[in-house]
Amino acid sequence: MSDENKYGKKFLDNYMQVMGGAWRSDREEAALLADPTAYATEKGLPVTPGAVVKVDRTQPESLFTIDELVRDWTATPGEHILHIPVEELIGEADLTDNELETVAGGVNIVIACYVG
């Protein structure tokens, strides 16, 4: 599978599901933090065999772009960085109807981190 396909829509959908799950459920967050590598693999993220997943809980100053998420996931051989800020970056109430349609349609290049 090419990197273009490997890190396309499915990667982002799975990443957003992991991110949203951690924000919505204490149980999901605990499972993620207990074993990030197993959790990411179970949720369909492309974990390289033998690699470890490290969770970055840093609260960013702005939204992540797709390129940032993929870059940090792939930058270091043997290690994947999974950004799961402690607090949700943006919620449904913060988006206009047009922005919600764009995010739901999968064409927005900025990750709004809305998982409905």
H or E segment to which residue 4 belongs: helix 3-6
Residue 111 within a domain = no
Domain extent, residue 21, equals: 3-105
Tell me which residue of 65, 85, 60, 86 sits closest to 7, measured CA to CA. 65
User: For the chain, what is the domain count?
Assistant: 1
**pTM attached to this predicted model:** 0.75
Longest dimension (CA), the chain: 42
Residue 37 within a domain = yes
What is the per-residue pLDDT across 32-90, written as a single tens digit (0 to 9) for each? 999 999 999 999 999 999 999 999 999 998 888 899 999 999 999 999 999 999 988 76
Residue 93 within a domain = yes
What is the per-residue pLDDT across 15-39, written as a single tens digit (0 to 9) for each? 999 999 999 999 999 999 999 999 9
Residue 90 within a domain = yes
Q: Which amino acid, 113? A: C
Residue 22 within a domain = yes
Residue 99 within a domain = yes
- C-alpha gyration radius of the chain: 14
